[in-house]
């Protein structure tokens, strides 16, 4: 047996290697005394931000090193550059070393300092102890030191004993260096909290609101890290309104509103500059970090973290907020899916369209916890096809100035404008999840409207619309003639309109965009568009109308779109029959073209 092993009274080298690799039996008495560094009391007299070396030590289990201390019958201390003791003291010798540090023993402090500065071992005899100070180097820096000590032997040569102690210290330091480069221990890394938090948020996301997820998350962070969390909801006014605070938070400690201007537009966890804290009304003596959780429609939750927040906390909070982000997405997706199913079931019945819409609107109102809801569907001509309030008899949402409101307007190519309005009388903002569900509902109502309203109601609207615009056109034409302005009426007949339901309304909107403000364009009937042009002669009106074919999609000369013009001059003619004259002109043009195309000059 080698002399070194004999003198330290341990088994051969194989047992030393086993001691470096295995934590040993935790049921033995010595390991019952050991502990993870995350629970070690630090005797430092000054509360300071933990160094990176202290965090690295705290995040790892050192049971194997404490077991080796017992086997080798030496004492070990890990200290940082302050120097503070980072390993617990369990024996009398370790207590003596710790006492020397606490009392500022000059020789020991000088040896530690020289070891860190010179990156070399330092040997001293102090108080009947042989002590070796070996630098522990991580990331190319000497961040701490390993102190290896034992009582000076009375029967052994001091020089030989010191050499043996230096050799053991070099072995142990190499093992410590390697251990610090390994992944942190599971309990100390904070990962042991990820699974419970994931389970908590996962279960809540299936049944609770996003507001409840924020509250559960805030309580967990407060318990684990003593950091206060507040949740703010983005409003339509470009502000974030306080919505979730932890129990015990005093009124006025957190601002009711935080303007979005000045906040980082990032989904990362970001520290607010000191100058922003006073402007926002946040505690100026705390660290303040914010994190946005954006939904697909752009609405956001803003999380505000306040307290003493160090690098150690940030690493763990970063993992926790990733879980919260996922839980919020799952909650929103599950909730919108439930709303979609219930509304679809209501709109798919054989009841009258008003009954279908009323039932679906009530489902939406109940799901979002709103006091009142209103659904309005208008055609492109401004005629209301649907106007329903839930519950029946409740005042419309927009009339209550004290309510928190959510209003969504959906304008589609199907020529309907769908407006969904919801209101709450209690002081609860609509959250991003509520906005997502309401947006899905508005899209469903918009898709349902053309089929549901394409029957008698739409037919009555189409029958009443021509008479209305014809009267407006003739009245405006009469007034223009009385003012001494010449006028021209153009009629476009689109023969393919019957195969494209609703297209005429879209074409009218496109033509209006091409005309002067003084001119008029409107629907005379399905597939028939009328135009009134002021201060315009017949030829000029015909030329303009030919250019407007592009809006409808026709080419000059094609019989799928017929153009007719009728003009009147002031003091000579009246407007009576002017629309019919333009209509007959369009049909006459077709007959003239057919006659010119006939080989006999006659249209047979």
For residue 523, list its beta bridge partners: 529
pLDDT of residue 418: 84
Q: Domain 348-453 belongs to what topology?
A: Beta-Lactamase (3.30.450)
**Top-confidence residue, 311 or 40:** 311
pLDDT of residue 92: 53
Lowest-pLDDT choice from 105-114, 374-383, 458-467, 587-596: 458-467
Taking residues 416-445, report their average pLDDT: 86
Spatial strand order of the sheet with 141-151 comes to 75-80, 141-151, 129-138, 122-126
For residue 529, list its beta bridge partners: 492, 523
**Top-confidence residue, 519 or 467:** 519
Q: Is the pLDDT of residue 498 over 80?
A: no
Are 404 and 424 in contact by the 8 Å Cβ rule? The answer is yes
Confidence class of residue 499 from pLDDT cuts 50, 70 and 90?
low
Taking residues 182-191, report their average pLDDT: 59
Q: Is the pLDDT of residue 206 over 90?
A: no
Per-state percent for the chain, helix, strand, coil, to nearest 5: 45, 20, 30
pTM of the model: 0.50
pLDDT digits (tens, 9 = 90+) for 56-85: 787 777 878 877 887 788 888 888 888 888
Tokens at residue 191, please?
A: 């990962």
pLDDT of residue 163: 87
pLDDT digits (tens, 9 = 90+) for 299-334: 889 999 998 887 777 878 888 999 999 999 999 999
Cα 87 to chain center, whole Å? 42
Q: Is the pLDDT of residue 46 over 50?
A: no
pLDDT of residue 341: 92
pLDDT of residue 93: 55
Q: Does domain 3-183 have CATH number 3.90.245?
A: no
- Mean per-residue pLDDT over the chain, rounded: 76
pLDDT of residue 382: 57
DSSP 105-164: -HHHHHHHHHHHHHTS-EEEEETTEEEEEEEEEETTEEEEEEEEEEEPPSSS-HHHHHHH
DSSP state of 42: P
Residue with tokens 């102890």: 129
Q: Does domain 457-597 have CATH number 3.30.70.270?
A: yes
551 preceded by a cis bond (ω within 30 of 0): no
pLDDT of residue 158: 79
**Top-confidence residue, 53 or 434:** 434
DSSP 427-449: S-PPPHHHHHHHHHHHHHHHHHH
pLDDT digits (tens, 9 = 90+) for 6-16: 444 444 334 33
Q: Is the pLDDT of residue 402 over 50?
A: no
Q: Is the pLDDT of residue 207 over 70?
A: yes
Q: Is the pLDDT of residue 546 over 60?
A: yes
**Top-confidence residue, 598 or 63:** 63
pLDDT of residue 557: 47
Taking residues 489-501, report their average pLDDT: 73
Same fold? 348-453, 457-597: no
pLDDT of residue 230: 92
- Please give the biggest Cα pair distance in the chain: 141
pLDDT of residue 70: 78
Nearest to 370 by CA among 419, 408, 426, 327: 426
pLDDT of residue 289: 92
Are 388 and 358 in contact by the 8 Å Cβ rule? The answer is yes
Domain ranges of the chain: 3-183, 190-336, 348-453, 457-597
pLDDT of residue 213: 93
Burial class (CB in 10 A: 0-12, 13-18, 19+), 222: middle
Residue with tokens 């001494």: 484
Report the CATH superfamily, name and number, of domain 190-336. Answer: GAF domain (3.30.450.40)
pLDDT of residue 502: 61
pLDDT digits (tens, 9 = 90+) for 269-304: 888 888 888 888 888 788 889 999 887 766 889 999
């Amino acid at each position: 047996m080698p002399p070194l092993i004999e003198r330290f009274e341990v088994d051969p080298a194989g047992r030393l290697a086993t001691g470096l690799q295995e934590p040993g039996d935790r049921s033995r008495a010595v390991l019952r005394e050991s502990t993870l560094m995350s629970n070690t009391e630090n005797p430092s007299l000054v509360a300071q931000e933990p160094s990176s070396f202290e965090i690295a030590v705290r995040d790892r289990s050192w049971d194997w090193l404490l077991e080796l201390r017992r086997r080798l019958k030496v004492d070990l201390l890990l200290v940082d550059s302050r120097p503070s003791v980072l390993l617990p003291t369990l024996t009398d010798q370790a207590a003596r070393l710790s006492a020397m540090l606490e009392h500022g023993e000059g020789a020991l402090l000088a040896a530690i300092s020289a070891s860190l500065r010179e990156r070399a071992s330092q040997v001293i005899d102090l108080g009947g102890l042989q002590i070796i100070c070996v630098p522990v180097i991580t990331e190319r820096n000497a961040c701490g030191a390993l102190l290896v000590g034992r009582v000076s032997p009375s029967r052994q040569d001091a020089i030989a004993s010191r050499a043996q102690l230096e050799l053991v210290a070099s072995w142990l330091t190499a093992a410590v260096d390697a251990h610090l480069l390994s992944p942190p221990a599971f309990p100390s890394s904070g990962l042991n909290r990820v699974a419970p938090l994931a389970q908590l948020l996962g279960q809540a996301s299936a049944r609770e609101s996003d507001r409840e997820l924020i509250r559960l998350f805030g309580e967990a962070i407060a318990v684990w890290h003593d950091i206060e969390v507040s949740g703010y909801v983005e409003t339509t006014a470009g502000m974030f309104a306080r919505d979730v605070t932890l129990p015990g938070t005093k009124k006025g400690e957190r601002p009711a509103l935080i303007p979005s201007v000045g906040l980082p537009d990032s989904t990362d966890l970001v520290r607010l500059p000191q100058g922003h804290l006073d402007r926002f009304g946040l505690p100026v003596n705390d660290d303040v970090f914010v994190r946005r959780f954006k939904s697909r429609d752009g609405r956001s939750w803003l999380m505000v973290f306040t307290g003493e927040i160090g690098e150690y906390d940030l690493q763990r909070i970063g993992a926790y907020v990733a879980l919260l982000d996922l839980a919020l997405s799952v909650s929103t997706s599950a909730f919108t899916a439930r709303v979609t199913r219930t509304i679809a079931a209501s709109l798919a019945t054989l009841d009258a369209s008003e009954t279908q819409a009323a039932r679906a609107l009530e489902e939406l109102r109940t799901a979002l916890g709103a006091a009142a809801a209103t659904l309005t569907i208008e055609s492109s001509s401004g005629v209301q096809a649907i106007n329903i309030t839930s519950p029946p008899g409740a005042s419309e949402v927009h009339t209550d100035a004290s309510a928190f409101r959510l209003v969504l307007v959906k304008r589609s190519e199907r020529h309907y404008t769908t407006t969904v309005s919801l209101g709450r009388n209690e002081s609860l903002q609509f959250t991003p999840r509520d906005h997502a569900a309401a947006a899905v509902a508005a899209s469903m109502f918009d898709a349902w409207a053309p089929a549901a309203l394409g029957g008698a109601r739409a037919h009555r609207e189409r029958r009443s619309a021509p008479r209305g615009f014809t009267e407006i056109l003739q009245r405006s034409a009469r007034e223009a003639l009385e003012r001494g302005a010449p006028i021209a009426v153009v009629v476009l007949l689109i023969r393919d309109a019957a195969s494209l339901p609703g297209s005429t309304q879209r074409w009218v909107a496109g033509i209006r965009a091409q005309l002067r403000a003084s001119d008029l364009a409107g629907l005379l009937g399905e597939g028939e568009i009328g135009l009134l042009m002021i201060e315009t002669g017949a030829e000029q009106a015909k030329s303009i109308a030919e250019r407007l074919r592009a809006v409808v999609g026709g080419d000059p000369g094609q019989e799928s779109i017929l153009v007719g013009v009728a003009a009147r001059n002031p003091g000579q003619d009246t407007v009576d029959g002017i629309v019919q004259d333009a209509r007959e002109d369009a049909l006459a043009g077709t007959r003239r073209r057919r006659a010119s195309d006939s080989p006999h000059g006659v249209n047979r």
